[in-house]
Copies of this chain bind each other. A is one copy, B any other.
Amino acid sequence: MLNQNILALGKKRSTIREIFEFGNQRAKIVGRENIFDFSIGNPNVPAPDSVQQAICDIINTQHPSSVHGYTSAQGIEDSRTAIAESLNARFGTDYSAKNLYLTAGAAASISICFKALTASPEDEFIVFAPFFPEYQVFIEHGAGAKCIVIPAQVQDFQINFEEFEKNLNPHTKGVVINSPNNPSGVVYSDETISRLSALLNAKSEEYGHPIYLISDEPYREIIYDGIKVPFIAPNYKNTLVCYSYSKSLSLPGERIGYVLVPNTVDNFGDVYAAVCGAGRVLGYVCAPALFQHVITRCAADIADISIYEENRNILFEGLTSMGYNCVKPEGAFYLFPKTPEENDYAFCERAKKYDLLLVPGTDFGVSGHMRISYCVQTQTVRRALPLFEKLAKEYGL
Which A residues are closer than 8 A to B by beta carbons? 1-11, 13-14, 17, 20-21, 24, 40, 42-47, 51-52, 55-56, 59-60, 63-65, 67-73, 104-105, 107-108, 110-112, 115-119, 134, 137-138, 141-142, 144, 173, 209-210, 250-255, 267, 270-278, 280-292
Contacts and interface: CB of A to CB of B under 8 A. Distances in A.
Contact of A285 (B105, B144, B267): B105
Contact of A8 (B40, B110, B277): B277
A275 B9 CA distance: 10
Q: Which of A11, A52, A288 has the most CB of B within 10 A?
A: A288
Copies of this protein in the complex: 2
A124 B305 CA distance: 50
B70 A253 contact: yes
A226 B173 CA distance: 56
A155 B104 CA distance: 41
A117 B68 contact: no
Contacts of A173: 1
Contacts of A119: 1-4
B6 A281 contact: yes
Contacts of A8: 277
Contacts of A110: 283
A209 B40 CA distance: 39
A381 B11 CA distance: 50
Contacts of A64: 46-47, 51-52, 250
Contact of A253 (B13, B71, B250): B71
Nearest to A117: B2
A10 B276 contact: yes
A103 B105 CA distance: 14
Given A72-B17, A283-B282, A274 B52 contact: no
Contacts of A115: 3, 6
A213 B106 CA distance: 32
A68 B1 contact: no
B68 A286 contact: no
Given A10-B273, A42-B65, A138-B283, 5 more contacts: A3-B115, A6-B116, A142-B281, A253-B292, A282-B283
Contacts of A251: 68
B10 A275 contact: yes
A111 B285 contact: no
Contacts of A284: 104, 107-108
Nearest to A52: B59
Nearest to A46: B64
Contacts of A144: 144
Contact of A142 (B117, B137, B283, B289): B283
A273 B13 CA distance: 9
A274 to B, nearest CB: 5
A55 B250 CA distance: 18
Nearest to A277: B10
Given A142-B283, A144-B144, A288-B254, A273 B11 contact: yes
